[in-house]
Structure formats: structure tokens, C-alpha cells
Amino acid sequence: MTDTSSTETNVDQKLKEAYFTAGQGQLIWARFKKQKAAMVGAWVLIVMILSGIFAPFLTPYDPTVAGRNESYLNGAPQIPKFWDENGFSWRPFIYTFERTRSIQTNFRWVTTIDREKRRYVQFFVEGSKYTYLRFNVNLPGKALDFTIPGFAFKTHLFGVESGQVHIFGTDATGKDIFSRTFFAINTSLAVGTIGVFIAFVLALIIGGVSGYYGGWIDSVLQMITDAVRTIPAIPLFMAVAAFIPPEWSSETRFLFISMMLGFIGWPTLARRVRTHLLTERNQEYVLAAQLCGASAGHVIRRHLLPSFTSYIIVDLVISFPYMVLSETALSFIGLGLKDPVNSLGVMLQSVTNADVMLNYQWYFIPVIFFITLVLAFVFVGDGLRDAADPYSSVKK
Amino acid sequence: MYQFGRFVLIRAALAIFTLIVVSFIVFSLMELVPGDCAERYLAFKNTQGSPISIADIDAERVRLGLDRPYLVRWGNWIINAFQGEFGDSCILRVNIAQLLGQKFWLSLGITLSALLLAYAIAIPVGIISATSNNPYLNNSLRLVSYLGLALPNFLLALMIMLFSTVVFGDTLTGLFSREFRDAAWSYERVLDFLSRAWLPVVILGWSATAFAIQTVRALMSDEIGKLYVTAAAARGVSGGRLLLRYPAKHALTPIINSLGFDLNRIFNELPIVALILTLTEAGSLLIEALARSNDQQLAGAIIFMLTASIVGLNFLTDIALAISDPRIRRSIIG
């Protein structure tokens, strides 16, 4: 009896010791793990990020015009099946189809499905080529231009024996919506990363200076930050995006838009950095460092920033979906990214007409993925915020 | 009284300073647009068959005053802007104040109604959710407020349109029925407007509501555990009277303070929602000006007026707060 209780106190003791000696990261992780919703969000997010990175492999076709299926424009989703009235098959299959249009059908394409002829889904098929880590370097002077070849692959996760398979259907030009969706996730993540990074650097500099020096520098910087915050962001984006010369390539445009998102998105982050700094800079450890003769930059970098790294990470995760959504909204009205680059906004550009709404509802499938992506970010961000706050468990 | 007057004056000066900074940003953006009014006018003349030369363009620049220094033109623009005069749009060739006039007030009305709707829902719901211990209620409210972010207004508008097209066969778009579109204001037209304006108001209010519920809830749960609430409860105050008279009063002050930024957030989404629902008000005029015709005068005027109304609302809420709370009067910048 005494034996068990002493081992129990031993275990308790060990747990307590582990708790008191744990680093900040370990504590946050321990608290984060307890939140079910946030963990689910984190898994979804990891899957999304991976599927964005490996989009070229996971999707059967090139998402640009190069991969279009001319014989299946505005085609309905073809969902692979395992069985039908003609029997069961281990290998999933889709049907063959015939498209006709005539005066009887009012010149609309009408698809007739031939349920007798099956097309079986194949895995690891050879298809269009895609590359990773390929860069075109354009230095001034023709002779200096060169290309880093990177790694080229041809294998795609799945495909069909003959013709093409379109799980989510195709759009008006015959591009595969499934492939476009995955590439769009990739684009959104890239836009968000660049935008958040730029906003973060600006916020650190402006908020850092403002919070550390205080006084009149702080007042002036705060007035400017507030003025920028008063201008509604999307109209401002629109004004900036309208200046992009039409002859820019879609890649340059993509880079420019992501940078603009960062340049306009910094004020909220900067304010938070400032508030953190204002409270921290009066702490004794800062005074101690200053008395030892540390320079302002040194104090900010070595002492102040580490004191709220976790808060900054949380802020970054939370501001990520705002960047993604701004990009989507901007592309949607035609001022953001343009066609060869895929993003949700680009894909939704043409859906507002009644024809699409009545006849081609599969255009809206990507929306589900994006709601999931943003929700995952929000859940993870919220979970992280609770986990990073050392008093959250005391309060509730 | 002296203190209050000083507070109002300093706040007004700050608001005007903000407007001047904003006007500088907006004006600089307008200047960055490739091409200016002189080129536009003459390009138009060129299409009418009269040949033009570089000298003509320069002469036109002098006539329009475009050759003066940047800061002088900015000064002129802002002085006129404060008087509500934005000059002519050089693409549409009409006076901007006339063109915007009613449309801008319609937009502002829709946005303010959305804001009102958001808080009319958020304040009671937020208070209830902060005080209740029902996990289902709390979790579902949490999901709603997450969805407010994940399903932004324009996606919601698209989904509603998709749904109404498939189910009712009507897209529910526009602010007026066809017969009232250009009619003068009358009783019937107002009714027609109201029968259609509720949809944009609800859609615009959606994200704002979700966001506001979260804020109200957080502020309320911070206040509700404080000692003065316990003290009031010990004195025998209970139920709704306890909640409204003690914690709610304190919790809601920061909300009044942030109304201006809430208005900003709603304004933000107005152009896109307007485009989807084909509303013919300022928001879609802005998209028209920027996306299709590069009309910098019009775009600048709209952005400036949007910002001016946000700054104005911020100013009014500051004054309202100062009237209700003497501590704020004393702290001038706070």
C-alpha cells in the first residue's frame, strides 16, 4: 500500500520536475496537444500543405491551357466507381462518353454516357512533365542567361487507360478542375507566405522602433500606422493593382501582388509588436542589459524579441488566412493574379453568370477546399494562441 | 467643460491630420497611374480624327494645371476635397461630385445598416455565450465565428446566389427592380429598395457579426469574473439587471471605440459584394474606375470619401465616449 503511493508521488514529482524544467516550446506543445479542434486543424493543414507542394504529382494533368481536354469542355465530374449493374471491379473505373450537339439540343453539347464501356483508372502513370527547383536566371546580357534545370518528373499519381479522367469536371476551356484546385492551394500558400513574410519584416522594424524608443517617435509612427489602417484595404489593393502594366508576365504579377499584400498588411502586426515591446522594455532584465552597455539593436534582438517569439508566431499564423483571402478577393474581381497562374480567385472569375450557376455547379467545388484551408489555419492559430498564453489554463 | 472642449479640439485636429496623411497616400497613388488627364483628353480627340502632337499635350497640361509642382497640386486637390469638390473625371467627362452624390450615400447607408445589424445580433448573443456554461452553445458559436472568416462575404454572396438560382430561379441581384432603376424617389421606390437592400445588408453584416460576437464574448468573459460583479451580486442584484448594469457597461466601451475600424472592414468588402450582386452604387463604381478604365480621379475621390467617413465615425465615437466617461476626457491621446 505504502509502496504504490510512494511510486505515485515519485511519478508526480517527476511530472512536476518535467513541467518546471520544460522549455517554452515544450510547454506550448504540451498545451496545444490537449486541444482536439486545433490538432485536427493541424493535421488538415499539414495534408493541405503537402498536397499543395506535391500538386504536380497528385494531379493527373497540367492545370494550364496546355493540359486542356478539348473533347470535354464544361464537362461534368466523372467519379470513379467500384461497381455498377454490370458487376464489381477491384480497379475503379469511369465510363466512356459521346458528346453531340445539334438543333434538337439547342446547340448545347449533350453528353451521353456509355455504361457498357468502362475505362479503368491506372496508378503511377506517365503524363505531362513537371519540374522542381527549376529557375530561369535572367541577368543583363544574353550570354549570361541560364537555367538551373532542377529535377524533372513525368509520373502522376493516377490517370486512365484512354482519354482523360476529370474527377471535379472541367471548365469552359476544358481545363481539369481537380488539377487546378491543387495548384491553386499551392499558389495560395505561396502568396500567403510571401505576403506574411514582408508584412512581418515591416511590422518588426516599424513596431520595434516605435515600441522601443517610445516618445515622439512612437506618436508619429502610430499616427501614420493609424492613417494607413483607416484606408479600407481592398479598395487600396485595387488602386495599387490597377497600376500593374498589362505587359507584365503572370509570374511577375504574382510576385508583385504578394508583395503588395505584405506592404499593405503590416499595420495590425506592427501595432501588436509595439504593444508587446512597450510592456517588455520597462522590465528589469532590459535595464540590466542596458546598464551592461548593450546597444539598442542588441537589446531588441537578443532580449526583447525572444521574449515574445511565441506571440509573433501566433500572429503570423492568424494573419495568414487574411492574406490568402485578400488575394482571392482581388483575383476574383480580375485585378489580382491572371490566368496561367491558378488560384481560387482566378477559378471563380467566371462563375457569376446565370449559365454557370444553373448548369455547371461543379465550378464551385474548389470553394470547399478553400474554406477547409482557411478554417484549418484559424483553428491552428486559435489553438496556438491559447497554448502560447501561459495563463489560459489558470483562467478557465 | 474646458477639459471637454480641449479634448474635442485635439481629437478634431488628429482626425484632420489623419485625413491629410490619407489624402497624400491617395493622391500619390493617383499620380502613379500611367498617363494623365491631358493625354486622355487628347487621345480622345485623336479618335475623333484631329491629329495631335507632343506640343498639344504640353499645352493641354498647362491649361489643366498639370505642369505645376506635385505638392501644389496635392494642396489644391485636398482643399477642394474638403469642400466636397473632386473636379471632373477625365474619362467619363462629368463632375465627380454629381456622379457619386446619391450613390455614395446609398453605399454608406447599406454599410451602416450592416454594422447596426451586426451589433444588434452580436451584443445579446455575445453576452449570453459569455455567461452560459452550455458547451454545445459555445462550440457552435465558435464555429460560426470561425466561418465568418473562412466564408468571406463575397463567397457567401456567391453561395446564396447559387442557391437562389438553383432553387428559386431568381438571382436576387440589383438594388432596384427594373421599373424603378432610374425613377425619382417615391414611396414605391423606397419600398422596392428596401425589399432588395436587405440581402446586401445581411451578406455584408455576416463576417462583421461573426467577428463582433467573438469580441463581445471575449470582453464580457474578462469582465464577468471581476470583484465588483461579485459585490453587486452579493448586494442582491441578479439576472439580466446584474449583467447589463455592471459588466456589460464596461465590456462594451472598447467596442464603441472600434466602430470606425468595423466600418472599415465592412466597406472593404462592399465593392466585391456589389460586383457579385450587381449593385449600382459606389463600390461597383470603384471597381469600374479601377479595373476597366483606370479613372484615377474617380477612384481617388471614392477612396477619400470612404476614409473620410471612417475618420468621421471614429471622431464621433471618441466624443461619445468622452461624454460618457470622464477618464477619457483627461487622457488626450489614448
* Shared-domain flag, residues A193 and A314: yes
User: Is B159–A229 a contact, with Cβ atoms under 8 angstroms apart?
Assistant: no
Q: Which residues contact A114 (CB under 8 A, 6 or more apart)?
A: A95, A96, A97, A98
- The grid cell for A21 is 524544467
Task: Give the residue with greater pLDDT, B189 vs B323.
Answer: B323
Residue identified by cell 532542377 is: A150
- The grid cell for A116 is 457498357
Nearest to B161 among A231, A234, A357 (CB): A357
Q: Which residues contact A248 (CB under 8 A, 6 or more apart)?
A: A256
Phi, psi of B314 (to 5 degrees): -55, -45
pLDDT tens sequence across A264-298: 888 878 887 888 777 777 788 888 888 888 888 88
* Shared-domain flag, residues A162 and A197: no
Q: Give the model's confidence band at B334: pLDDT under 50 very low, under 70 low, under 90 confident, else very high.
A: very low
Q: Which of A151, A173, A195 is the last residue in one of the domains? A: A173
Domains contained in chain A, number: 2
Would residue A63 count as lying in a domain?
Answer: no
B193 DSSP 8-state letter = H
The answer to which of A219-223, B127-131, B188-192 has the lowest mean pLDDT is: B188-192
Cα B147–Cα B148–Cα B154 angle in degrees, nearest 5: 110
**A330 vs chain B: nearest CA distance in angstroms?**
9
Burial of A13 by CB count in 10 Å (0-12 exposed, 13-18 middle, 19+ buried)?
exposed
pLDDT of residue A229: 77
Would residue A36 count as lying in a domain?
Answer: no
pLDDT at B333 over 70: no
Would residue A75 count as lying in a domain?
Answer: yes
Range of the domain at A229: 181-395
- Rounded to whole angstroms, the Cα distance separating B103 from B101 reads 6
- CATH number, domain of A199, equals 1.10.3720.10
Q: Among A11-15, A204-208, B244-248, which range has the highest average pLDDT?
A: A204-208
* Shared-domain flag, residues A329 and A369: yes
* Shared-domain flag, residues A339 and A271: yes
Q: Identify the H or E element spanning B75.
A: helix B70-82
pLDDT tens sequence across A101-125: 777 766 677 777 777 777 777 777 7
What CA dihedral angle connects A21, A24, A29 and A35, to 10 degrees? 100
Q: Give the Cβ contact number of residue B110 at 10 Å.
A: 25
Task: Give the residue with greater pLDDT, B3 vs A44.
Answer: A44
User: Is B333–A219 a contact, with Cβ atoms under 8 angstroms apart?
Assistant: yes
Interface test with chain B among A230, A278, A320, by most B beta carbons within 10 Å: A230
Q: Are A267 and B18 in contact (CB under 8 A)?
A: no
Mean pLDDT for all residues in chain B = 76
pLDDT tens sequence across B148-163: 777 877 888 888 877 7
User: Is B268–A239 a contact, with Cβ atoms under 8 angstroms apart?
Assistant: no
Q: Give the model's confidence band at A1: pLDDT under 50 very low, under 70 low, under 90 confident, else very high.
A: very low
* Pairing of the two strands A151-160 and A110-132: antiparallel
**Does pTM top 0.95 for this prediction?**
no
Q: Give the model's confidence band at A396: pLDDT under 50 very low, under 70 low, under 90 confident, else very high.
A: very low
Would residue A198 count as lying in a domain?
Answer: yes
pLDDT at B293 over 70: no
Sketch out chain B's domains with CATH numbers: 2-93 (no CATH), 100-333 (1.10.3720.10)
* Shared-domain flag, residues A200 and A256: yes
pLDDT of residue B93: 67
Closest CA to B40 of B29, B27, B56, B25: B56
- Rounded to whole angstroms, the Cα distance separating A237 from A258 reads 11
Would residue A304 count as lying in a domain?
Answer: yes
Q: Identify the H or E element spanning B196.
A: helix B187-224
Q: Are B20 and B71 in contact (CB under 8 A)?
A: no
* Shared-domain flag, residues A94 and A140: yes
ipTM over 0.85: no
- Residue B310 sits at the chain A interface (C-beta within 8 Å): yes
* Shared-domain flag, residues A311 and A166: no
Q: Which of A124, A143, A173 is the last residue in one of the domains? A: A173
Would residue A234 count as lying in a domain?
Answer: yes
Would residue A58 count as lying in a domain?
Answer: no
pLDDT tens sequence across A49-70: 888 888 888 888 877 777 777 7
* Shared-domain flag, residues A250 and A287: yes
- Rounded to whole angstroms, the Cα distance separating A367 from B321 reads 42
pLDDT of residue B21: 83
Which residues in chain B touch residue A245, judged by CB atoms under 8 angstroms apart? 34
* Shared-domain flag, residues A293 and A150: no
Number of CB pairs, chain A paired with chain B, less than 8 A apart: 132
Q: Give the model's confidence band at A390: pLDDT under 50 very low, under 70 low, under 90 confident, else very high.
A: low
Task: Give the residue with greater pLDDT, A141 vs A227.
Answer: A227
pLDDT tens sequence across B7-39: 888 888 888 888 888 888 878 877 776 666 666
Angle between helices A365-388 and A309-332 (to 10 degrees): 160
* Shared-domain flag, residues A237 and A143: no
In sequence order, the β-bridge partners of residue A100 are A110
Edge-first strand order for the sheet with A151-160 is: A81-84, A87-100, A110-132, A151-160
pLDDT at B177 over 70: no
User: Is A364–B32 a contact, with Cβ atoms under 8 angstroms apart?
Assistant: no
User: Is A228–B25 a contact, with Cβ atoms under 8 angstroms apart?
Assistant: yes
pLDDT of residue A334: 75
* Shared-domain flag, residues A323 and A227: yes
Q: Are B86 and B96 in contact (CB under 8 A)?
A: yes
Which residues in chain A touch residue B162, judged by CB atoms under 8 angstroms apart? 357, 361, 364
Q: Are A337 and A241 in contact (CB under 8 A)?
A: no
Which residues in chain B touch residue A332, judged by CB atoms under 8 angstroms apart? 154, 272
Q: Are B334 and B328 in contact (CB under 8 A)?
A: yes
Q: Which of A173, A190, A208 is the last residue in one of the domains? A: A173
- The grid cell for B261 is 475600424
User: Is B150–A321 a contact, with Cβ atoms under 8 angstroms apart?
Assistant: yes
- Rounded to whole angstroms, the Cα distance separating B25 from B275 reads 25
Q: Among A184-193, A260-269, B3-12, B43-52, which range has the highest average pLDDT?
A: A184-193
Longest CA span, chain A: 93
* Shared-domain flag, residues A232 and A353: yes
Would residue A232 count as lying in a domain?
Answer: yes
